[in-house]
Amino acid sequence: MTEPGTGPTTAVSLHDVSVSYGERRAVDGITLQVRPGERVALVGPSGAGKSTLLRLCNGTVVPSSGRLRVLGEDPAQLPAGRLRALRRRIGTVHQQLHLIGPLRAVHNVNAGHLGRWGRWRALRSLIRPLQVDQAREALARVGIAAHLHSRTERLSGGEQQRVALARVLVQDPDLVLADEPVASLDPARAEEVMRLLCGLLEEPHRRRTLVVSLHDFDLAVRHCDRVVGLRHGRVVLDLPADEVDERARERLYDLGPDR
């Protein structure tokens, strides 16, 4: 029997999910459904549980209690092979870009294939890059096709960020998770990276799902369909972006200090 909220109509489904670290509840009884193709921003003060929620979504943290489904699967119940297959469908954008500086951009972009390629194919590609056209196309989509063969560490910070986004494109995930992807950027760069990140979601026959944690409330409202506010591991706000107003923002940030 299919449980409510776990069928193909949800990309991510949490039902009364909690995550505890010792005495501390990082996520406290969250029930939340994310529809395929939705762009959901997680906002809230530091320590609210945003990263833990994202880690639940990529299966690196398992619920202490409650039910979780990601792309229709329960990561905690999957054998290793199926968990790897699930993770191939999930692209993660980190604040730290996790690029290998001395390598040329093409290799860092091709790292998006690593979940599919065997070890030998990966090694072969380091000697003579494989699927170069696809890497070039991905770099073109983020505006830096000319840097295909540039050493990554010689690129500017903004260009390196684009290489990391191109790597996600090559991975071709159904679900994109981004943990504070613009936290260290000035407002203009943050806006640009959010625009590029959202651009990655659009494919001819589908739209990838995005769950992104953001410090900047206005950025969340401008770029996402829906804003989910967390405090103390709980959802205290869940609104379509176009219904978010000043009162909603106050509700999220003016509930007194975090624990």
Instruction: Give the residue, chosen from 1, 23, 46, 205, that forms a contact with ligand ADP under the rule CB under 6 A.
Output: 46
Q: Work out whether 92 is an interface residue with ligand ADP (CB under 6 A).
A: no
Contacts of 254 (CB under 8 A, 6+ apart): none
Tell me the C-alpha distance between 226 and 209, whole Å.
12
- Region near ligand ADP per CB under 6 A, out of 39-47, 62-70, 130-138, 183-191: 39-47
- Residue 234 C-beta: closest distance to ligand ADP, Å: 11
Both tokens assigned to 207: 């739209």
Q: Work out whether 253 is an interface residue with ligand ADP (CB under 6 A).
A: no
Q: Quickly tell me which residue has 């995930």 as its tokens.
A: 173
104 bridge partner residues: 151
- Residue 54 C-beta: closest distance to ligand ADP, Å: 8
Please, which residue, 142 or 212, has the CB nearer to ligand ADP?
212
- Region near ligand ADP per CB under 6 A, out of 31-39, 46-54, 81-89, 135-143: 46-54
Instruction: Give the residue, chosen from 18, 31, 51, 150, that forms a contact with ligand ADP under the rule CB under 6 A.
Output: 51
Instruction: Give the residue, chosen from 11, 14, 17, 26, that forms a contact with ligand ADP under the rule CB under 6 A.
Output: 26
Closest alpha carbon to 90 in 55, 58, 51: 58
SS3 of 42, please?
strand
Instruction: Give the residue, chosen from 3, 7, 16, 21, that forms a contact with ligand ADP under the rule CB under 6 A.
Output: 21
Tell me the C-alpha distance between 230 and 14, whole Å.
14
Tell me the C-alpha distance between 177 and 185, whole Å.
18
Instruction: Give the residue, chosen from 13, 15, 28, 52, that forms a contact with ligand ADP under the rule CB under 6 A.
Output: 52
Closest alpha carbon to 185 in 174, 173, 193, 177: 193
The residue ranges that bind ligand ADP (CB under 6 A) are 21, 24, 26, 44, 46-52
